[in-house]
Amino acid sequence: WCRMIPRSFQPLAAAVAATSMWACSPSLDWREVRPLDSSVVALFPCKPSGQERRVLMAGQPVRLTLLACEAGGLTWSLALADMANPAASTARSSSAGGAAAANIDATTVEPTALQVRGATPHPQSARLRLAGHRPDGRAAQMQAAFFTHGTWVYQVTVLGEQVRAEDADTFFAALRFIA
């Protein structure tokens, strides 16, 4: 193709071609993920790995499932647990935002309304934009969403030095429940 381009423009043409090829290889490779034993569907920008463990939440032992991956310099995660008791799910939902803020010693907290298709309407459902610092002193931004579905509680998080609004919006807007 270089023979069709005048010599004086060949370096420019090569730079444009290289730039366009770079633009076609995104750092975020979006895919739908549905955790086992759950009806929630999330759109992750990378292939998450999962782990489960027993933890104490709202005073009761529960199985917590965590799916997480790293892409674009950010950590993307979905945590879910069946509280088995509606009162416990309400207690957990109301304390989750404070725990997330404490994790990055947040100095700025901006709550916004959250609606996840198919989620149980709950006054504690929210999306938070947090700014603070990691334990090592580096700046951190976090966006986190908290919602319920029956007795299940969910926390979806994007964490990094700087969270781009468009990427976080894609992540949170795709959340939904299927039958």
Beta strands 60-71 and 108-112 are: unpaired
Mapped onto helix, strand or coil, the DSSP state of residue 172 is helix
Instruction: For the beta carbon of residue 169, count every other beta carbon within 10 angstroms.
Output: 12
Nearest to 176 by CA among 111, 94, 110, 116: 116
**Is 0.85 topped by the overall pTM?**
no
| pLDDT (tens digit per residue) in 15-33 | 333 333 333 335 789 999 9
Q: Which residue has the higher pLDDT, 103 or 19?
A: 103
Longest CA pairwise span in the chain (Å): 74
| pLDDT (tens digit per residue) in 37-76 | 899 999 999 999 999 999 988 888 999 999 999 999 999 9
Integer Cα distance of 96 and 145 in angstroms: 9
pLDDT at residue 127 greater than cutoff 50? yes
